[in-house]
Copies of this chain bind each other. A is one copy, B any other.
Amino acid sequence: MKIKGTFLDEISHDIPHQNWGRKEWDLDFDYMKKVGINTVVLIRSGYRKWLTYPSQILMEQERAYQSSVDLVQMFLELSSKHGMDFYFGLYDSGRYWVNGDFQGELDLNKALIEEVWEKYGQMPAFKGWYISQECSRKTGSIIKMYAGLGEHCKAVSGSLTTLISPYIDGIKNISQYKPETSRTLGVSLKRHEEDWNEIFDGIKNAVDIVAFQDGHIDFDELDDFLQINKQLADRHGIRSWTNSESFDRDMPIKFLPIKWEKLLMKLKAAERAGMEQAITFEFSHFMSPQSAYLQAGHLYNRYKEYLDQLK
């Protein structure tokens, strides 16, 4: 099981920024390429008032802050240079999951999709859309929103690939703003299966790939959940990637690089489940030799040794 893609954590909202300029990003794409990554997924183009590019729509409708750099342009250019596929992550208002305004989120993003396609659609690395709204359960109008967003992405762009990356409502589904790392009860396998069977049925024509996050459950539960995820997706004709998180959810310090043995266990579970490939959240903080977290560079080396063993 190889990691073929990574998220780009811009706009980050909970992981301290590395303050990289174009030079550092260029080098990072090079590091990614060297370990076989061919896909980069912008985690979101905007979060509340913070933007990755100067979006007229968001600056007007959301009173978002003018971004001083156009990261979307830069990422697309670097993707071309390094032969990467770029997936554009939609806007997250931070509202839909607070007050249940799924319709507002959908409408706003439909306009954004048009703006983005108009602005960047001709760039050769633009290969897909990432529907950035995360969920773990059949919450509110999530099906209608996912379907609407995916369909609009496809309608506007000549049916480019669409991706979602939900999480499992497991024992480690804990706010990053809480000190604990786990709770006693997570969602049951049965309930998870019921919810996602229904969600997949409702979005199967709008979403091409699902990459469940693999970090919210115990390591014991990996096989059960990953296999259910794969079977459910297969049943509805959706492709399966695994989003193998490269940060460690078990630590009092939130968001430092994961121990290699844990990542290895998760990759092997994904292999047993028959996943097509892995992507990770995310390379630049947690696996890059130039990360501010030096544990990341060592993780990169451990992963390279693993790749060498696969040969």
Contact = CB atoms under 8 A, between A and B. Distances in A.
Contacts of A255: 252-253
Interface string A164-205: 000000000000111111000000000000000000000000
A298 interface: yes
Given A19-B302, A181-B177, A254-B252, A49 B292 contact: no
Interface residues of A, number: 51
Given A16-B257, A253-B254, A68 B178 contact: no
A177 B179 contact: yes
Nearest to A17: B259
A234 interface: no
A15 B67 CA distance: 30
Q: Interface of chain A, helix or strand or loop or mixed?
A: loop
A265 interface: yes
Contacts of A135: none
Interface string A285-311: 000000111110011011001000000
Given A49-B219, A293-B292, A250 B13 contact: yes
26 contacts: A14-B252, A15-B251, A16-B248, A16-B253, A16-B295, A19-B259, A19-B260, A19-B298, A19-B299, A19-B302, A21-B301, A21-B302, A49-B219, A50-B261, A63-B220, A65-B265, A68-B264, A176-B252, A177-B180, A252-B254, A252-B255, A253-B253, A291-B294, A292-B293, A292-B294, A292-B298
